[in-house]
Amino acid sequence: MPVTAYDLTGRTAFVTGAASGIGRASAALLAQAGATVHCADRDEQGLHETTDLIKQAGGTAHPHPLDVSDRTQITEAIATAARTSGGSLDIMAAIAGIMHSSPVLETRDEDLDRVLAINFKGVLYACQEAARTMIASGTRGSIVTMASGAIDTGGPGLLCYGVTKAAVVQLTKTLATEVGPHGIRVNAVAPGWIRTPMTTRHDDRAQAHTESLMVRMSPLGRVGEPEDIAHAVLHLASDAAAFTTGQILRPNGGVAMPW
Ligand SMILES: NC(=O)c1ccc[n+]([C@@H]2O[C@H](COP(=O)([O-])OP(=O)(O)OC[C@H]3O[C@@H](n4cnc5c(N)ncnc54)[C@H](O)[C@@H]3O)[C@@H](O)[C@H]2O)c1
């Protein structure tokens, strides 16, 4: 018998960062579970690859090329997505983000501003518009944000990135208390090291070193794949997590970040 709590047939989802890695895998899995998925990203080519992938698998997907750090662009795209579904939005997965690494003593204002604009403000704008849309249509929706294992530990160069992910956690917990009375749930996923373009852009030796460290530190003896995190997103987005809100789910293979 199918487990119906994970069935998203008839639901509308909006996924940011959908052109790559965790966002792409999440968009594909939400579509596989039956949702109509609106995919947003600034990488237009990657975005179309994702929507093609979903359509080829028999799902429904719409591309929204945009920059999440631009409030007007994200607000308009969510409004467009909701219009195609009679004004409602059931799921927001705010996944888009960037990595930045610089020692504290070398961190410039513009570094911090850039990472905050995408990793925090971009998530804030998406959450605000999603929650407003859900409240207006009386939808008991689910909002999922993307934090990181960096929330649990410091590490060389991690200041800007870690600050933005800690801010995402605060947003998640605060918003959960404010929109809970409307039946809207808000949760975060804080992945460990996942093999995506974000983590594999480094040179081969550095990547091999980090991967082997992660494998040794995980009781499961492997690194994470985007699909591991997509399943966490699906769980929190679905009715299976109907009594879960304001929580941080840590799919990290059993380890904290290896700093
Ligand atoms: N990969 C990991 O190990 C890991 C671990 C913890 C958390 N995360 C988080 O997961 C999320 C996804 O990361 P990933 O590993 O899939 O990386 P990725 O680089 O593969 O994907 C990130 C996506 O976000 C998009 N994006 C970046 N800035 C944008 C902007 N201003 N507007 C619109 N789109 C933008 C990129 O174009 C890209 O498609 C990020 O928030 C990241 O911080 C990743």
pLDDT score for 207: 79
In the sheet with 142-146, reading across from the earlier edge strand, the strands are 60-65, 36-41, 12-16, 91-94, 142-146, 185-189, 248-249
Does residue 161 carry a catalytic annotation? yes
pLDDT score for 213: 87
Report pTM.
0.97
Our mutation pick for probing the ligand 1 site, out of 14, 92, 123, 198, counting the most ligand atoms within 8 A of Cβ, is 198
Distances (CA, A) of 233 to 104, 120, 155, 237: 32, 18, 26, 6
pLDDT score for 60: 98
Strand partners, 63: 39
Residue 193 in contact with ligand 1 by CB distance below 6 A = yes
pLDDT score for 1: 61
pLDDT 10s digits, 238-257: 999 999 999 999 999 998 55
pLDDT 10s digits, 43-62: 999 999 999 999 999 999 99
Q: What is the CA angle 143-73-53, rounded to 5?
A: 65
Point out the catalytic residue in the list 31, 161, 176, 238: 161
pLDDT score for 258: 46
Please tell me the residue having the least CA distance from ligand 1 atom 40. 97
pLDDT score for 257: 52
What residues of the chain score a pLDDT lower than 50?
258-259
Residue 198 in contact with ligand 1 by CB distance below 6 A = yes
| DSSP codes, 161-180 | HHHHHHHHHHHHHHHHHHHG
What's the first-to-final CA gap in the chain, in angstroms?
44
Are the C-beta atoms of residues 95 and 17 closer than 8 Å to each other? Answer: yes
